[in-house]
Amino acid sequence: MTILPKRTLGPGLVAIMFAALLLPQSQGADSTQESIGFSHEEIAPNLVLISYQVGGEEKSGNGVVVEMEGKPYLLTSLHIILGAEKISFITASGERLAPRRVELSNNRDLVRLALGDEGSGLTLSFQAKMNTPIAIFSSGNEDTQKIEHGKIIGVGGGKVEISAKFNDSSNGAPALNAEKEVVGIATYSRKFSKHAMKTGTRFDNTKRHFCCRVGKNDWIPVNWKTYNRKYGKEYRKHETFCTQIINILKKGEEFSASAKRANELATQCRTHARQLRMLSERRDLTDFLLNDFEEKAELLEYADDQFHGYANNKR
C-alpha cells in the first residue's frame, strides 16, 4: 500500500536518499574500462586492514597510509571506526600500526590518524577529472585482497562517483589513479530505484558507487576515547534504526498489517528523532556529524507522519 506523504521532504532527507543524483555525469561514462598498471603488492605497505568489534561482533574495514603536510597519516572513513571497539590496524605487508592521535574531517565522512613524524605514504590528489582511470585497492589477507578497476564518472564538491564496483567490505579503501595518487576513499554504494526520468539510461534501477574526496585544512583533533564514548554508540544505534525504517517504508508490509503496529513504529521514530535533535545541539560535533544527525531526525519525523497517518486511516 502506498501512503502519500503528509508533508514535503526537506532538503536534509533528500540529501540522505538522493544526494548522489546531484553529481554531474558524463555521457557513456560506463563504457570501456581502463586498467591501472600497478599491483596490490607494490603498495601493500600503504594499504591497511582495520579490524574491530561492534557489540561483540567482529568486523573489518579498510584504510590507506597517505602523506599529508609532510607526515604519514592513516586515512579512512569515519563511519568505520565511530562506535567501534578493540580496533587494530595492520598493513597488507604485515606491519602493525599504532596511531598517536586522531583528527576528524569537519565536513566529510573521513578521519585521519597520525603515525608519527617518520615514514612515507601515498600522495593525495586534490584534482578529480571526469573519465580518469582509477582502481579501488581493498586490503586484507591474500584471500580478500582485491582490485576493482573503473573510472571517474561523476564529480561533486565532496565526492566522486566511480564505475568501479565495490560493496561494504571495501569501505575505507583508496581509489588510486595511474600515478598512484589517492583521489578518494570508497565510502558507500547505493541502489537507486526505477524512475520515469531514468528509464532507458544507465541510472535505471542500478547500483552506484561513491568515494569521498579529501579536503584541505579540514581537520579537527579530538580525544578519541572520549569522543567515541560520547557519540559512537549513539551513531551506531540511530544508523541501524534508520536503515530498518527505510526498508520498512520501502516494503510497507510490516506496518500495513495493523494500526497498532503503525502506531508502535511512529512512537519509535518519534523517540529516535527527539534523541537525534538533542544530539545535534551539542557544540563539539563536526559539521559532518551535525548534518548526519539532523538528516536522520528529519527522515524519522517524516516516517512518523507516514506511520501515524496510516494508523488513523485504519481506524
- Read off the pLDDT of each residue in 263-272 and give the average, rounded to a whole number: 96
Residue 2 has pLDDT above 70, yes or no: no
Identify whether the C-beta of residue 159 lies closer than 8 Å to the C-beta of residue 203: no
Query: Does residue 3 register a pLDDT over 50?
Result: no
Q: Looking at residue 139, what is its pLDDT?
A: 81
Q: How far is CA 243 from CA 54, 67, 122, 238, 269, in A?
A: 17, 35, 34, 8, 12
Q: What is the pLDDT of residue 205?
A: 59
Identify the residue with better confidence: 205 or 46.
Answer: 46
Q: Is the pLDDT of residue 149 over 80?
A: yes
Would the pLDDT of 206 be above 90?
no
Whether the model clears a pTM of 0.75, i.e. scores above it, the answer is yes
Q: For the chain, give the secondary structure using H, E and C.
A: CCCCCCCCCCHHHHHHHHHHHHCCECCCCCCCCCCCCCCCHHHHHHEEEEEEEECCEEEEEEEEEEEECCEEEEEECHHHHCCCEEEEEEECCCCEECCCEEEEECCCCCEEEECCCCCCCEEECCCCCCCCEEEEEECCCCCCCEEEEEEEEEECCCEEEECCCCCHHHCCCEEECCCCEEEEEEEEEEEECCCHHHCCCCCCCEEEEEEECCCCCCEEEECHHHHHHHHHHHHHHHHHHHHHHHHHHHHCHHHHCCHHHHHHHHHHHHHHHHHHHHHCCCCCCCHHHHHHHHHHHHHHHHHHHHHHHHHHHHC
Is the predicted pLDDT of residue 161 greater than 80, yes or no? yes
The predicted model gives 84-105 an average pLDDT of 94
- What Rg do the C-alpha atoms of the chain give, in angstroms? 21
Instruction: Assign 260 a pLDDT band (cuts: 50, 70, 90).
Output: confident
Specify which of 17-21, 117-121, 167-171 reaches the highest per-range mean pLDDT.
167-171
- Average pLDDT (108-127) is 91
**Residue 49: closest CA among 65, 26, 28, 69:** 65
* 40-54, 110-124, 217-231, 250-264: segment of lowest average pLDDT: 250-264
Instruction: Read off the pLDDT of each residue in 282-309 and give the average, rounded to a whole number.
Output: 95
pLDDT band at 11 (very low <50, low <70, confident <90, very high): very low
